[in-house]
Structures are given as structure tokens and as C-alpha cells.
Amino acid sequence: MVKTYRKIKCKVSYDGTDYAGYQVQSNALTVQQLIEEAIEQIAKERTTIYASGRTDAGVHARGQVFHFRTACSIPVHKWPYAFVTKLPNDIVVWEAEEVPDDFHARFDVKEKIYRYSLMNRPFPDVFHRKYAWHVPYDLNLEAMRSAANYLIGEHDFTSFCSIKTDVEDKVREIYDISLEEHDEGRVWLTFRGNGFLYNMVRIMTGTLVKVGTGEWEPDRVRDILEACDRTAAGPTAPAQGLTLWEVKY
């Protein structure tokens, strides 16, 4: 009997604290591994899931998207309920829909939104230590906003990606960067763009914090972009402050 396959698109949230990132690795526990194992338990078939992109060790996701093909006859709306029974409580698949066979979770992405969380106050918050970077120095948010304006648009972001980046084309377009101040010292930096390089958001954040503390002037960011040199930019902000917020198609 010929099997009929469907393509399922899912949205998943996860706390990345205890994982070596999203992508499967041979010697460490990852989010992809656990989701694929859950599918195998549910559908009694082995499959590979394809996500909108990778997240590093310690990085979180609110709206990661992945797809997979399955011959399992479970109604699509029941997949999230099935996942709940097979995944740990720090990984939650909360939406599933059937999509055309030509859909691809990575190659069809139109926009990604990342949020980086700072805890800007003298002492750390014990309840946010896994989800924010504690910066105890006063930050000039207006200076950071001015610096962020240099990053908006289409640029070569060689200065703002890890030297381990394995892609040759480092041109990306940033649509918007916003900084929001909240109570108890929380600051959210939200980055919207058509794609991001390895460590790009964390390096942009580390650079903007350098401006916020007054160590660098805002227009230095323009010079850093033009340098196309990773050593010109600021530090890579800690992983725990970063969340893949949303993926748009």
C-alpha cells in the first residue's frame, strides 16, 4: 500500500538553558533531537525536522518554526496535544497546520524577529538570571538608539558576526531596531530583519551596550560596519538574554 505523506508546520517555544542549541549534535542534547524523538514515538516513523534557523546553546525561542513530513494519520490539530505527552516541559509545540509540499521553514522566511533582554540595575534579579544579561552600569538609551540607526538597512555585517560563520555572503537587511524600557530595570532590544548571521544579534547588542555606557560614541557603529572586521565591534552578549521571538512567512 502506497503511503500518503503530509507536510506539517509547527510553532515551538523552548527554554534553551539546558540544551546545546537547537541543531542535532552527536555528543550533546539539543531541541531538534528531542522533537524528532517525540515524532518517532507518536508516529512510529523516523523523520527529520527542518527549522527556520539554528539557535545557539542557551538561547531561547518563543516562536521557532519547523516542518516535517509524515504518513501518520493523526489530525493536524491534535499534534500539539500529542507533543505535550512526549516532550519535556521546557519545550512546547503550541501550533500545527498542514502546509503545501513546497513550503520550507527555512527558505521561505520573509522576516525574523529577535528580542534581547537586559537587566539594567545595580544588582542582578535572581528570577531573570537565565533570561537576561545583567548590566549594572547606567545606560544611555538615546545614545543606543542613535547608534542602532546606523545598523538599519542593507549592509555587509562581517563586523557583526562570529569568525566561525560559514556563509560567504554576509549582506543582510535590518528593518528595524527598537529599545524599550520597562519596570525594574528591564530593557528590551528588538531586532527585525530578513535574516541574521551567526552571533549577529548578540554582537550588535554587545556593541550597543558599549555605546550605552558611554565608552563609545554612537557614530562609531558606522565605522565598525565599514571596517568589515569582527575585532572592530563590541563583545558577544551572553546567550541567555536572546530569544527568537517570531518568524514571518
Residues labelled as active-site residues: 56
Counts for the chain of helices (H) and strands (E), in that order: 5, 10
Residue 38's nearest CA partner among 65, 70, 6 is 70
Question: Which three cell numbers, joined as nine digits, stand for 151?
Answer: 545598523
Cβ-Cβ contacts under 8 Å for 54 (sequence gap 6 or more): 21, 22, 23
Question: Which three cell numbers, joined as nine digits, stand for 28?
Answer: 550533546
What's at 20, amino acid-wise?
Answer: A
Collapsing DSSP states into helix, strand and coil, what is residue 112?
strand
Residue 10's nearest CA partner among 74, 26, 27 is 74
Q: Determine the Cα–Cα distance for residues 73 and 94; give it in Å rounded to an integer.
A: 19
Question: Which three cell numbers, joined as nine digits, stand for 154?
Answer: 542593507
Residue 96's nearest CA partner among 44, 30, 38 is 38
Q: Determine the Cα–Cα distance for residues 37 and 41; give it in Å rounded to an integer.
A: 6
- State the binding site for substrate: 114
Q: Which DSSP string corresponds to 66-106?
A: EEEEE---S-GGGHHHHHHHHS-TTEEEEEEEEE-TT--TT
- State the binding site: 114
Chain Cα centroid distance, residue 217: 28
